[in-house]
Amino acid sequence: MSAGRALPVKAPAQNKPASVDSQRGRTRPGDGEMMDPTPPPLPSDPAERAALFASIDRGIADVRAGRTVAWEEVDRLTRQKLGLPPA
């Protein structure tokens, strides 16, 4: 290839990493799209962490035992409580 045909190559633009606060349901100035919310970190206190995991385990046990409420029912009750029209 001749030197006249070689084109300079640009490196892709590097975006600055977004801070945690900007990732929590806010938009970054450049892209205008909503970002996925970032969950808070797990608690570092062993007792709080154990309580969190125990709560998750109870929820999973409820689902496996059939103790759940259908989404349609939750949606209907929420809309009724907030005075919104039915879906």
**pLDDT per position as a tens digit, 15-50:** 555 555 554 555 455 555 677 788 889 999 999 999
Q: If DSSP codes are grouped into helix, strand and coil, which group holds residue 84?
A: coil
Longest dimension (CA), the chain: 73
Would you state the pLDDT for residue 9? 58
Closest among 16, 33, 17 to 25, alpha carbons compared: 33
Q: How far apart are CA 56 and CA 87, in angstroms?
A: 30
Phi, psi at 45, each rounded to 5°: -70, 125
Percent of the chain with pLDDT over 70: 61
The mean of the pLDDT values for the chain is 79
Q: Is a pLDDT exceeding 80 seen at residue 6?
A: no
Q: Give ∠ CA 27-28-30 in degrees, rounded to 5.
A: 125
